[in-house]
Amino acid sequence: MTDRKKVILSDVSLLLVAAMWGGGFSFTKNILQYLTPLYFLSARFTLAALVLAVIFFPKVKQATRQDVKNSLFVGVFLTVAFVAQTVGLLFTTPGKQAFITSAYVVMVPFLSYLVSRRKPLRKELAGAFLCMVGLAMLSLTRDMQVNLGDVLTLISAVGFAGHIVVIGVFANRVDTVVMNVYQFLLAGISCLVLALVLEPFPTSFGFPALYSLAYLVLFSSIGAFMIQVTAQKYTYPTHAGIILSMEAVFGALFAFIFWQEIFTPVMLAGCAVIMIAILITEVDLKKKPTELPTEMPVMKEGG
């Protein structure tokens, strides 16, 4: 297969990943009709960790104690991000949450400064400003108030940005599979402990909750991960960044299909501004891709 065909196939595969993640917001909203947030997250991440561990058992078995420590540290950020996001979805809509969560892309350069001391570029500053404008258009009501769900989702976006930054620190030290198994396991166990203390024990588990959980484990977590880590080896980083940012668009599309979520003209304009901010931050128009990446990029965990 030629390089061009590999790039096209990889780009289509990454678009499928973005669709899987985008659908995750609506399926999460669905499962929250039956399960409380912490019990749901515990089930999702524990099952994802177990499935990955079974599939990649030889790699997981070879993990060192330091690998486990580094992975658990990364998992703290993942846990905070998903708890804030999932609880936030109780008070906001899947489509809005998809776009607010996508703001993590613009936040990464600023959090990276705390680690690498590299000052944000002008385009990153411009992207951050536009993102703030877009978030305001999407979230502020006529009386200039923001609902709790949007605030928690914004906190989760900061968590996802921090998650990507710390993954960047440990990416070359820990195997990607090992890191995901242990960070998922930490998230699952932490959420179970918190659920036992803070939430009533679930007494019913309807079929919609079952297929929603299956989707989030098999597609949003395991399937998307396995496709992404393969596809990003055969396409350009700029392609991957743009295509994966389509998660927000798919999130809004699925919210319209399954939840009849309607965006006002101002909200639609806010979504467009956020997408422009992401593209400004991600794309370097002066630089043309000359060769395929030689190293696997850092994995991003979707909705």
Q: Are 63 and 182 in contact (CB under 8 A)?
A: yes
Q: Cα(63)–Cα(81) distance, rounded to whole angstroms?
A: 25
Q: pLDDT tens, 3-24?
A: 778 888 988 998 999 999 999 9
State the pTM of this model: 0.86
3-class SS string, the chain: CCHHHHHHHHHHHHHHHHHHHHHHHHHHHHHCCCCCHHHHHHHHHHHHHHHHHHHCHHHHHCCCHHHHHHHHHHHHHHHHHHHHHHHHCCCCCHHHHHHHHCCHHHHHHHHHHHHHCCCCCHHHHHHHHHHHHHHHHHHCCCCCCCCHHHHHHHHHHHHHHHHHHHHHHHCCCCCHHHHHHHHHHHHHHHHHHHHHHHCCCCCCCCHHHHHHHHHHHHHHHHHHHHHHHHHCCCCCHHHHHHHHCCHHHHHHHHHHHHHCCCCCHHHHHHHHHHHHHHHHHHCCCCCCCCCCCCCCCCCCCCC
pLDDT of the residue at 144: 66
Q: Report how far Cα 171 is from the mean position of its chain's Cα atoms.
A: 17
Q: Looking at residue 280, what is its pLDDT?
A: 85
Q: Mean of the pLDDT values across residues 211-237? A: 84
> Please, what's the largest Cα pairwise distance for the chain?
57
Query: Residue 24: what pLDDT?
Result: 92
Mean pLDDT of 15-39: 92
Q: How far is CA 219 from the centre of its chain?
A: 13
Sign of the Cα pseudo-torsion (9, 15, 17, 23, in order): negative
Work out the average pLDDT over 57-75: 94
| pLDDT at residue 51 greater than cutoff 90 | yes
Model confidence pLDDT, tens digit, residues 92-115:
999 999 999 988 888 888 888 888
The pLDDT tens digits of the residues spanning 124-182 come to: 888 889 988 998 888 876 666 788 999 999 999 999 989 888 888 887 888 888 999 99
* 46-50 average pLDDT score: 94
For 188-206, how does the pLDDT look when each residue is reduced to its tens digit (9 = 90+)? Answer: 999 999 999 999 988 877 8
pLDDT of 289 reads 55
- pLDDT higher than 60, residue 296: no
CB 109 within 8 A of CB 52: no
pLDDT for res 298: 46
Which of 289, 26, 241, 34 is closest to 127 using CA atoms?
Answer: 241
Mean per-residue pLDDT, 275-287:
76
Instruction: Give CA torsion, residues 186, 190, 193, 196, to 10 deg.
Output: -120
- Looking at the chain, the whole-number percentage of residues with pLDDT higher than 90 is 46
Compute φ and ψ for 245, nearest 5 degrees.
Answer: -70, -15
Kindly report the number of other CB atoms within 10 A of residue 274's CB atom.
27
